[in-house]
Structure formats: structure tokens, C-alpha cells
Amino acid sequence: MTWRRKNMLQKKGKFYITTTIPYVNARPHAGHALEYAQADALARYYRLAGKDVFFLTGTDENSLKNYQAAKEGGISTKNLVDRNAEIFKDLAEKLNISFDDFIRTTEARHIETAKKIWLAAKDKIYKKKYRGLYCVGCEMFYKESELVDGLCPDHKIKPEIVEEENYFFKLSDYQCQLEKIIESDEMEIVPAVRKNEALSFIKLGLEDFSISRLAERGDGWGIEVPGDPGQRMYVWFDALTNYLSAEKYWPADVHCLGKGVLRFHAVYWPVMLLAAGLALPKKLFVHGYLTVGGQKMSKSLGNVVDPFDLIERYGADAVRYYLLREVSPFEDADITEEKFKEAYNANLANGLGNLVSRVMKMSEQYLDNPVDISSTKPMDDVNKPLENFEFNRAMFSMWSYMKDIDGMIQEEKPFELVKRDKKSAQKRVMYYVKELARIAKHLRPFMPDTSEKILEAIKANKMPESLFPRKE
């Protein structure tokens, strides 16, 4: 099959990165912005490193959640997904996310791919009657032992009992093979705690899982099972195939995903690919949740922080800063307006913004020409943590270095030295400017607009307008 062979190609020097695709039953919240920012920092970093990067994101539109939200809102499902998909895309654009493609799972190209995968894996698919506990919020079946006080552990709602005849995938056939794949890091899962979590689930014994639902449950919404118009593909079987949209770049170098969808990506997705004869993704980077009062931020729970509001009041780079520096890449992190403002004032207004003003004011006053910043030394303590998904550690190193430069200025006092020895003062200011440029270049993956403003100011030898006005 030509399509299959093309997907198996390895592009020299390529880097293919994806985010998960969110349901569009409601507006995005700050948790979606977190994954966007993390994936974008990696995409930008590898572009700067000379890789042929392809960055895919998009929206998951075929779920029952979307159908039910539309029904409750009194509009058609198509109108709801069209409207909300644009809002998610708008968030990505306002957050300055450098995606190369935005896939919607209602697009013809996606539907074609989903059907191809179904047919390629058909030897592992069969039909049977089934009765189970189904959480619409998660779009998945739970065992009773997995519930907490009879409720879904994520959405805190009681799953409904669903009994129908569906198509099932022979997941049990892959027990030993999948264990070896994950244990050997053939498909690496980061951090290790998530790898162990996936292995624990597999070692409990894999059971075949449902990959379709009756069409009537959503008034026909969803992708039709090939050859069976009475069935629609189970949303996760359908949605996962979005990653194959960038065919020539497959396999993915990194899938960015939240811990709540680990099972789908570490268990269901690889066996689907194996059944279809396709290569596995290389690495899964699994981040934690943004929480409010210790509880997962969720549209279903209604405890969301609006990222558009934060961008409007503080700017896109300030939001990116907070999500990448103040939030752990692997663990849950609580977010409040108070914490956001405190970090903004301390580390952006008083930290980076103040340092840029001090250095560029001296440069403008004491230097006749712009400083040549064409060559700067790499900062390994920034690059290496970033390659390991330790965004916060990479940014901590930059802020620590900013503090060192600020300390040098305080100690050396070039504004006093210039009165006694202008050449020596100019030499020190040139050094500060070069180091500021070095910091700015390393900020590119994290805060691209801010990086560009600093570099432009250096090239023009002019102090820029206040980058981060203090917020009261």
C-alpha cells in the first residue's frame, strides 16, 4: 500500500511534534494553553537547531461530548464544532504558537485516514455485544474497580451503564509485545513515573476494548465504520489517527499529552499502529494538570481559568513565561490570578524588564555604535534541560544568569566608572550587551516576541519601551 510505505519513511533531520487534540464542547481553558506552550517551545528550539520541524495541533470534533453540548445549547453539532474549533485556533494564534498544520477531525482528509487505519487493522477487529460503565466526559469505559466512590476519578460523575453491540479491538493479543516496547524504551515515555504507570496497567492484563458505538447514540454524528452505517468509530480510535496527517514526517518524534490520556497513547495507540503495520512514535512527553484549589481544571467541572483574559491583560509572552517557568512540566500545578501577578511583577517587570532597561540605557548613553552580537556562546544549562522537557529548569538557568549580570552591574558601577575611565566603562557595557543578547537568543523558544524586541533594541542601540509594565 503506497500510503503505508510513505508513512514508514524517515526524513533525515526531521522533527515531528504533536499536541493532543481537545474536545470542542466548550471554550478552551488555561490547561490547553499549557500544552500549546510546551509543544511550541520544543518546535521553536529544534527549528533554531536546524531541524526540519513539523508541528501539528488541532481539534477533536466527533465525540458524544460535542453532540451533547450542542443539544443542550440548542444548536446543531456542526455549528458548535465549527464555532469552537475557531476559538481553539484563535487561542493558539494569540499565544503565538508556531503550528504548521491545524487538523480538524471533521475534515475529509482526517476521515479518509481514520477509515484507512480501520481497514488496515481489520484482522484485529471483531463485533460483539457489550455492557459496561461509560464516562462521557472521558469518552471511555471504566471497570468498577477504577471508580472512586462510584464516580469517574477525573470528572467526579457517575458513569452511565451502556449496553450495545460494538466493534472490539483484540488488545489482548499484544500483551507481551507492548510490555517489551515500553520496557525497552522503543517507545519512550517521559517521565519515568508515567512509564511505570503504563506498565502497571499492561501487567494487570490487557482486555479487548470497544472501538465503536451505535450511530443512534449521537444522531449519526461521527465517522462511519467502513461497511457498517449503523456504527460510528469510538472517538479515541478516530482521534488518534490525526497524528498521521503529516504523512511524510511520521513517525512522531514527540507526542505531547496530559497524564489523563496516557492509557490511550501508551496502550491503545501503539497497538493500533502495530495492527496497521505502521511505525511507532518515538517518545511520549506526559505533563501534569493545571489545578484550581488542588482540583483538575476542567470544562466539565467549570473551574477554568480563561487564557484569553490572561493574554489580554498581561500579554502572550507573560502567559508563556508563567506556563513554562512557574509550572512543573511533569507534576500538577495550581494556578491563581494572585500567583500569576506575583510571578509577573517579580520576574518579568522587576527581573527581565528591569535588566533590559538598565543595560540598554547604558548602551545608548555610552556607546557610539550598536554592539556586534552575530556570535554568542550556547548556554548548555538551558539547552539540555529543554531537550529533556525540563522547561522550568531551563528558564530558571536563564533567570539565574540575569541575576548574575545584574549583580555585576551593581558591583562594577559602570555609570560611575565612565567618569574616570570611559574606555573601560564602554568595554564593560559592551560585555553586558553581548550577554543580554545571549540571553535573548536563548529566550526565543519560550518568549519569542520578547526575544525579538530585545535583539532589535540591541541592533538599534536604543532602549526599548517597557517590556513588562508593573501590575498593581
- Has 296 been annotated as catalytic? yes
Q: Which of 124, 152, 255, 287 is catalytic?
A: 152
Q: Which of 65, 135, 255, 341 is catalytic?
A: 135
**Residue 330 CB partners (closer than 8 Å, separation 6+):** 191, 193, 286, 287, 288, 389
Query: Which residues of 382-433 form beta strands (DSSP E)?
Result: none
- Has 152 been annotated as catalytic? yes
pLDDT of residue 85: 97
382: nearest Cα among 33, 97, 48: 48
pLDDT of residue 28: 94
**Residue 181 CB partners (closer than 8 Å, separation 6+):** 187, 270, 280
* pLDDT (tens digit per residue) in 68-101: 999 999 999 999 999 999 999 999 999 999 999 9
Whether this prediction's pTM lies above 0.85 is answered by yes
- Has 256 been annotated as catalytic? no
Please report the sign of the dihedral spanned by the C-alpha atoms of residue 137, residue 141, residue 146, residue 147: positive
Neighbours of 70 (CB within 10 A): 23
Cell 564593560 locates to 428
365-385 burial, b at 16+ Cβ within 10 Å, e below that, comes to ebeeeebebeeeeebeebbeb
Please report the sign of the dihedral spanned by the C-alpha atoms of residue 44, residue 45, residue 49, residue 54: negative
Q: Which of 32, 195, 287, 341 is catalytic?
A: 32
- Has 135 been annotated as catalytic? yes
CATH dotted code for 2-304: 3.40.50.620
DSSP string, 304-327: ---HHHHHHHH-HHHHHHIIIIIS
Strand-strand pairing, 14-18 and 254-258 = parallel
Using CA atoms, how far residue 281 sits from 47, 80, 131, 154, in Å, is 20, 32, 32, 26
Phi and psi at 32, nearest 5°, equal -70, -40
Q: Which of 138, 195, 255, 287 is catalytic?
A: 138
- Helix (H) or strand (E) run with residue 14 in it: strand 14-18
> Would you kindly state where each structural domain of the chain is located, as residue ranges?
2-304, 337-460
Whether the link from the prior residue into 251 is cis, omega within 30° of 0, is: yes
296: left (phi over 0), alpha (psi -120 to 50) or beta: beta
Contact 406, 342 (CB under 8 A): no
Q: With respect to CATH, is domain 337-460 assigned 1.10.730.10?
A: yes
Contact 401, 439 (CB under 8 A): yes
Contact 166, 211 (CB under 8 A): yes
Burial of 68 (0-12, 13-18, 19+ CB in 10 A): middle
Question: What is the C-alpha to C-alpha distance for residues 145 and 192, in angstroms, rounded to an integer?
Answer: 24
* Grid cell of 236 as nine digits: 479515541
pLDDT of residue 89: 98
Neighbours of 259 (CB within 10 A): 18
Query: Which residues of 122-180 form beta strands (DSSP E)?
Result: 125-135, 140-142, 160-169
- Has 138 been annotated as catalytic? yes
pLDDT of residue 12: 53
Cell 537568543 locates to 441
pLDDT of residue 245: 86
Phi and psi at 233, nearest 5°, equal -60, 135
Question: What is the C-alpha to C-alpha distance for residues 179 and 260, in angstroms, rounded to an integer?
Answer: 20
Q: Which of 29, 115, 255, 259 is catalytic?
A: 29
Amino acid at the residue 349: A
pLDDT of residue 300: 64
Using CA atoms, how far residue 317 sits from 270, 311, 338, 412, in Å, is 35, 8, 18, 31
Q: Which of 124, 155, 255, 265 is catalytic?
A: 155
pLDDT of residue 11: 42
Strand-strand pairing, 228-233 and 224-225 = antiparallel
Q: Which of 287, 296, 341, 442 is catalytic?
A: 296
**Same CATH topology for 2-304 and 337-460?**
no
Q: Which residues of the chain have pLDDT under 70?
A: 1-12, 137, 155, 299-302
